[in-house]
Amino acid sequence: MTGGYVLLARLAKRRTVKAGRLPALSFSCGYYAYVGSALNGIPARLRRHLSPAKKIHWHIDYLLQKAIVTDIIIGETRDRVECAIAGAIGSCCRPIPGFGASDCRCHSHLFFSPEHEELKSVVISAFKENGLTPEIKSPGDYR
Protein backbone atom coordinates (compact mmCIF):
# COMPACT_ATOMS: atom_id res chain seq x y z
CA MET A 1 0.00 0.00 0.00
CA THR A 2 1.44 3.36 -1.06
CA GLY A 3 0.17 6.89 -0.60
CA GLY A 4 -0.07 9.79 1.78
CA TYR A 5 -0.52 9.81 5.53
CA VAL A 6 -1.01 12.19 8.41
CA LEU A 7 0.14 11.49 11.95
CA LEU A 8 -1.96 13.22 14.61
CA ALA A 9 0.10 13.66 17.76
CA ARG A 10 -0.57 15.14 21.19
CA LEU A 11 1.95 17.21 23.08
CA ALA A 12 0.93 17.21 26.74
CA LYS A 13 2.91 20.29 27.74
CA ARG A 14 4.84 23.13 26.10
CA ARG A 15 8.21 21.90 24.87
CA THR A 16 11.19 23.27 22.98
CA VAL A 17 12.37 20.99 20.18
CA LYS A 18 15.49 21.31 18.07
CA ALA A 19 14.82 19.40 14.82
CA GLY A 20 17.77 18.96 12.49
CA ARG A 21 18.90 22.27 10.97
CA LEU A 22 15.80 24.14 12.06
CA PRO A 23 16.20 26.59 14.93
CA ALA A 24 14.93 25.44 18.33
CA LEU A 25 11.15 25.80 18.22
CA SER A 26 8.69 26.24 21.06
CA PHE A 27 5.71 23.89 20.68
CA SER A 28 2.48 24.65 22.53
CA CYS A 29 0.50 22.04 24.38
CA GLY A 30 -2.07 20.60 21.96
CA TYR A 31 -2.36 18.58 18.78
CA TYR A 32 -0.18 18.41 15.69
CA ALA A 33 -0.77 16.98 12.22
CA TYR A 34 2.30 15.83 10.31
CA VAL A 35 1.84 15.17 6.59
CA GLY A 36 4.02 12.61 4.84
CA SER A 37 4.11 10.26 1.90
CA ALA A 38 5.23 6.68 1.58
CA LEU A 39 5.47 5.69 -2.05
CA ASN A 40 7.50 2.62 -1.09
CA GLY A 41 4.94 1.41 1.46
CA ILE A 42 2.84 3.04 4.15
CA PRO A 43 3.00 0.22 6.73
CA ALA A 44 6.81 0.20 6.85
CA ARG A 45 7.00 3.99 7.09
CA LEU A 46 4.45 4.10 9.91
CA ARG A 47 6.17 1.30 11.84
CA ARG A 48 9.38 3.33 11.59
CA HIS A 49 7.71 6.53 12.82
CA LEU A 50 6.18 4.68 15.77
CA SER A 51 9.31 2.76 16.75
CA PRO A 52 11.07 4.06 19.87
CA ALA A 53 14.37 2.58 18.64
CA LYS A 54 15.19 4.37 15.40
CA LYS A 55 17.89 6.56 13.95
CA ILE A 56 16.72 10.17 14.21
CA HIS A 57 16.53 11.41 10.63
CA TRP A 58 13.42 13.46 9.78
CA HIS A 59 12.08 16.54 11.58
CA ILE A 60 9.11 14.52 12.85
CA ASP A 61 11.48 12.08 14.60
CA TYR A 62 12.55 14.88 16.95
CA LEU A 63 8.97 15.86 17.83
CA LEU A 64 7.88 12.25 18.33
CA GLN A 65 10.46 11.93 21.10
CA LYS A 66 8.16 14.24 23.10
CA ALA A 67 4.67 13.76 21.58
CA ILE A 68 2.34 10.76 21.40
CA VAL A 69 0.67 9.70 18.16
CA THR A 70 -3.10 9.50 18.73
CA ASP A 71 -4.37 8.72 15.22
CA ILE A 72 -3.09 7.98 11.74
CA ILE A 73 -5.00 8.91 8.62
CA ILE A 74 -3.93 7.33 5.36
CA GLY A 75 -4.97 7.62 1.74
CA GLU A 76 -3.93 5.11 -0.88
CA THR A 77 -2.50 6.50 -4.10
CA ARG A 78 0.53 6.17 -6.35
CA ASP A 79 0.74 9.95 -6.64
CA ARG A 80 2.70 12.36 -4.45
CA VAL A 81 -0.08 14.10 -2.54
CA GLU A 82 1.62 15.28 0.63
CA CYS A 83 2.11 18.86 -0.54
CA ALA A 84 -1.52 19.17 -1.70
CA ILE A 85 -2.75 17.75 1.61
CA ALA A 86 -0.42 20.07 3.55
CA GLY A 87 -1.76 23.03 1.57
CA ALA A 88 -5.35 22.13 2.40
CA ILE A 89 -4.59 21.69 6.12
CA GLY A 90 -2.56 24.90 6.17
CA SER A 91 -5.57 26.91 5.04
CA CYS A 92 -7.29 26.05 8.34
CA CYS A 93 -4.58 25.32 10.92
CA ARG A 94 -1.44 27.10 12.09
CA PRO A 95 1.66 25.84 10.25
CA ILE A 96 5.00 25.33 11.98
CA PRO A 97 7.31 27.10 9.46
CA GLY A 98 9.76 24.87 7.61
CA PHE A 99 8.92 21.75 9.59
CA GLY A 100 8.99 18.63 7.42
CA ALA A 101 9.26 20.67 4.23
CA SER A 102 13.00 20.73 3.57
CA ASP A 103 12.65 18.74 0.34
CA CYS A 104 9.82 20.77 -1.23
CA ARG A 105 8.58 24.35 -1.59
CA CYS A 106 5.81 24.06 1.00
CA HIS A 107 5.68 26.42 3.96
CA SER A 108 5.25 23.46 6.33
CA HIS A 109 4.16 19.85 6.69
CA LEU A 110 3.31 20.23 10.40
CA PHE A 111 0.22 22.01 11.70
CA PHE A 112 -1.09 22.89 15.14
CA SER A 113 -4.54 22.96 16.69
CA PRO A 114 -5.53 23.09 20.36
CA GLU A 115 -8.48 20.78 19.55
CA HIS A 116 -8.07 17.12 18.54
CA GLU A 117 -11.44 16.58 16.83
CA GLU A 118 -11.20 19.87 14.92
CA LEU A 119 -7.76 18.95 13.59
CA LYS A 120 -8.88 15.43 12.70
CA SER A 121 -11.86 16.84 10.79
CA VAL A 122 -9.64 19.27 8.84
CA VAL A 123 -7.27 16.42 7.91
CA ILE A 124 -10.11 14.18 6.72
CA SER A 125 -11.45 17.04 4.59
CA ALA A 126 -7.97 17.62 3.13
CA PHE A 127 -7.81 14.00 1.97
CA LYS A 128 -11.26 14.21 0.42
CA GLU A 129 -10.45 17.52 -1.32
CA ASN A 130 -7.55 15.73 -2.98
CA GLY A 131 -9.63 12.79 -4.21
CA LEU A 132 -8.52 10.33 -1.55
CA THR A 133 -10.60 8.13 0.70
CA PRO A 134 -9.23 8.70 4.21
CA GLU A 135 -8.77 5.65 6.43
CA ILE A 136 -8.42 6.31 10.16
CA LYS A 137 -6.03 3.93 11.85
CA SER A 138 -4.79 3.39 15.38
CA PRO A 139 -1.07 3.61 16.15
CA GLY A 140 -1.42 0.08 17.57
CA ASP A 141 -2.06 -1.18 14.02
CA TYR A 142 1.58 -0.47 13.17
CA ARG A 143 3.52 -1.40 16.29
Convert the pLDDT of each residue in 115-138 to its tens digit.
Answer: 999 999 999 999 999 999 999 999
- Is residue 109 within 8 A of residue 64, CB to CB? The reply is no
Instruction: Return mean pLDDT, the chain.
Output: 94
Residues 84-112: what's their mean pLDDT? 92
CA-only gyration radius of the chain, Å: 14
- Is residue 80 within 8 A of residue 130, CB to CB? The reply is no
- CA–CA distance, 43 with 29 (Å, rounded to integer): 28
Q: Which is higher by pLDDT, 8 or 20?
A: 8
pLDDT computed for residue 15 by the predictor: 94
pLDDT computed for residue 38 by the predictor: 92
- pLDDT surpassing 80 at residue 64: yes
Segment (H or E) for 142: none
Residue 78 backbone dihedrals phi, psi, to 5 degrees: -95, -5
b/e per residue, 66-81, with b = 16+ CB within 10 A?
Answer: ebebbbbbbbebeeeb
- CA–CA distance, 122 with 49 (Å, rounded to integer): 22
pLDDT computed for residue 71 by the predictor: 98
pLDDT digits (tens, 9 = 90+) for 25-46: 999 999 999 999 998 899 999 9
pLDDT computed for residue 13 by the predictor: 97
Strand ranges in 46-95 using DSSP code E only, listed in sequence order: 68-76, 94-95
pLDDT computed for residue 105 by the predictor: 87
